[in-house]
Amino acid sequence: MSEYPVAVLFIQGAGEGAHDADGALADELGQALGAGFLVSFPRLPNEAAPDSGAWKRAIVAEARRADARVVVAHSAGAAILADLLAEGRFGAELPGVRGLFLLAPPFVGPGGWRLDGFHFDRPPSPASLAGLPIHFYFGSSDTTVPPTHADLYERVFPGARFSRLPGCDHQFAACVSRVAEDVRALVEASGA
């Protein structure tokens, strides 16, 4: 692992009070990762009704500011990052990121939620995702994002790793340690 703390950017979900609600999740991730990691947790604009384009710009700016090597995102924030991947722009926008961990992202598109402006109608080009480990996590007890959304994402991101966590709810109560294990394993393997 790197001599310096590995910068981890945690992206919140959406909805009134989402930043405060996800604060516990970001704190738990930081504790589970332990020494050698520095988790930043910015407040994104207009969390009650986010604009996908504004959030993408804010996420890119925050990742660059923090020099993030790993991005962990929850719920709507994770769906917006998945959309950035589907557009094929992630590597160009965030070349320093070495791993992406998406927790309970709602699938926005055919078979999932209906919102305008998402690009999940076709898989991104493999070249745009080359060398970027992508991990998706879904909880079996999530009553906000149905676990079946994992199947929809698998069609769009066939090379990603999918974890279905028994007993895990939408806020990943008591499930963050699994994500932290995967982050640490990636960092140790890649030297990020």
* Domain contains 146: yes
* Domain contains 78: yes
Percent of the chain predicted with pLDDT > 70: 93
Q: What CATH number does the domain containing 59 carry?
A: 3.40.50.1820
Q: What gap in Å lies between CA 13 and CA 134, rounded to an integer?
A: 18
Q: Is 183 helix (H, G, I), strand (E, B) or coil?
A: helix
* Domain contains 54: yes
Closest CA to 93 of 47, 62, 114, 52: 62
Distances (CA, A) of 41 to 20, 47, 136, 153: 11, 14, 19, 25
The more confident residue out of 165 and 190 is 165
Parent domain of 151: 6-190
Mean pLDDT, residues 46-69 taken together: 92
* Token digits of residue 181: 């294990």
Predicted local confidence at residue 3, as pLDDT: 56
Q: What gap in Å lies between CA 116 and CA 51, rounded to an integer?
A: 11
Mean pLDDT value across the chain: 89
* Domain contains 1: no
Residue 1 binned pLDDT confidence (cut-offs 50, 70, 90): very low
* Domain contains 145: yes
* Domain contains 65: yes
122: pLDDT strictly greater than 70: no
Predicted local confidence at residue 83, as pLDDT: 86
Residue 68 binned pLDDT confidence (cut-offs 50, 70, 90): very high
Domains held by the chain: number: 1
Mind listing the pLDDT tens digit for each residue in 34-52?
999 999 999 999 999 888 8
- Residue 138 φ then ψ, to 5°: -135, 140
Mind listing the pLDDT tens digit for each residue in 124-136?
777 777 788 999 9
Mind listing the pLDDT tens digit for each residue in 147-188?
999 999 998 888 899 999 999 999 998 899 999 999 999 999
143: pLDDT strictly greater than 70: yes
* Domain contains 94: yes
The more confident residue out of 109 and 59 is 59
* Domain contains 143: yes
Mean pLDDT, residues 68-92 taken together: 90
Q: What gap in Å lies between CA 126 and CA 166, rounded to an integer?
A: 30
